[in-house]
């Protein structure tokens, strides 16, 4: 046998207000979590509204080693000097992003959009940049030792002073109609070695 509990209008309004307060509290407490790509452990928690803002906040001092940023929109994000070593940035939108001096060693940037990104002095040793779009990217003095750049678009990229030793450049595109990429004479031999070309006298 069910019973009906009657409450006064005043009590009803109080209960209603409490429920509304709890709902607002829940909305306010919504947090963005950045997780490790292998373990799934939370490596950073943010109260920012977008994932991009959360990543920028974390890049300001947190360690994003091995972060799962798969297909994340980081268009024009400020990630300078960020520790993104071994991070998964597969298919990420990094157009115009500031990655100056960032540690991206062994990171997965396969298929990432890095058009006009600033990667000057970044560490990309052993990074996977297979089929990445690096159109007009700034790679000045970037360490690309052992990086996989196969099928990457390097049209208009600044490779001045970049370390390309042992990099895989198979099928990489360096220019469209008329090349503009410049390298120093001292880098020519290293460049050809990276392409797998043996120069004979």
Domain 35-201 has CATH 2.160.20.80: yes
pLDDT of 176: 58
Phi, then psi, of 27 in degrees rounded to 5:
-65, -45
Q: What is the pLDDT of residues 131-150, one digit of tens each?
A: 999 999 999 999 999 999 99
pLDDT band at 154 (very low <50, low <70, confident <90, very high): very high
Query: What percent of the chain stands above pLDDT 70?
Result: 86
**Over 80: is that where the pLDDT of 177 sits?**
no
CA distance 9 to 176: 74
């Amino acid at each position: 046998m069910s019973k009906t509990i009657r409450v006064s209008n005043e009590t009803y309004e109080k209960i209603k207000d409490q429920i509304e307060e709890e709902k607002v509290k829940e909305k306010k407490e919504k947090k963005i979590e950045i997780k490790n790509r292998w373990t799934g452990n939370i490596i950073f928690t943010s109260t920012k509204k977008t994932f991009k803002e959360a990543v920028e906040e974390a890049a300001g001092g947190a360690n994003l080693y091995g972060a799962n940023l798969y297909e994340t929109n980081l268009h024009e994000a400020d990630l300078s000097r960020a520790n993104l070593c071994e991070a998964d940035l597969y298919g990420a939108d990094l157009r115009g992003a500031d990655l100056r001096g960032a540690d991206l060693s062994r990171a997965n940037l396969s298929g990432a959009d890095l058009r006009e990104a600033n990667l000057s002095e970044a560490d990309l040793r052993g990074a996977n940049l297979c089929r990445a779009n690096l159109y007009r990217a700034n790679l000045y003095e970037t360490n690309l030792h052992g990086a996989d750049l196969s099928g990457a678009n390097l049209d208009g990229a600044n490779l001045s002073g970049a370390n390309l030793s042992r990099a895989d450049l198979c099928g990489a595109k360096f220019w469209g109609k008329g090349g503009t990429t410049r390298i120093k004479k001292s880098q020519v031999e290293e460049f050809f070695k990276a392409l797998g070309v043996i120069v004979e006298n």
